[in-house]
Amino acid sequence: MVHGQTIALAVGLAFLFGYALTMRPLLRSGLALGVAVKLALAADTVSIAVMELLDNLVMLYVPGAMDSGLANWVFWAALAFALAVAFAVALPINRWMISPGLGHAVVHSRHH
């Protein structure tokens, strides 16, 4: 797979699973699917986008990270570093969004 396809797959799966993990408890609490989808989009879009952008940029810039296989330590070390960088940037953004009631704050009121 070329790098663009790999990144597209990673980003697509991140959004799919991110939204699904947010929607699961909402659907279990009895919310309609449409409402749960809207809440998940509002809660997770910015966070997932920031995480994926930074994670993939770091992976592209670490020499050999995108070309190493899953059995190679370079891949796992680069991934750990990339996720740490992405987390460090996404955390204050998420805090900033939650404080006025945006981001995941829109979901917290729906949890039982």
Segment 5-41, tens digit of pLDDT:
989 999 999 999 999 999 999 999 898 999 999 989 9
pLDDT at position 108: 64
Domain that holds residue 11: 3-108
Averaged pLDDT for residues 49-57: 95
**Per-residue pLDDT for 59 more than 60?**
yes
3-state secondary structure the chain: CCHHHHHHHHHHHHHHHHHHHHHHHHHHCCCCHHHHHHHHHHHHHHHHHHHHHHHHHHHHHCCCCCCCCCCCHHHHHHHHHHHHHHHHHHHHHHHHHHCCCCCCHHHHCCCC
- Report the domain count for the chain: 1
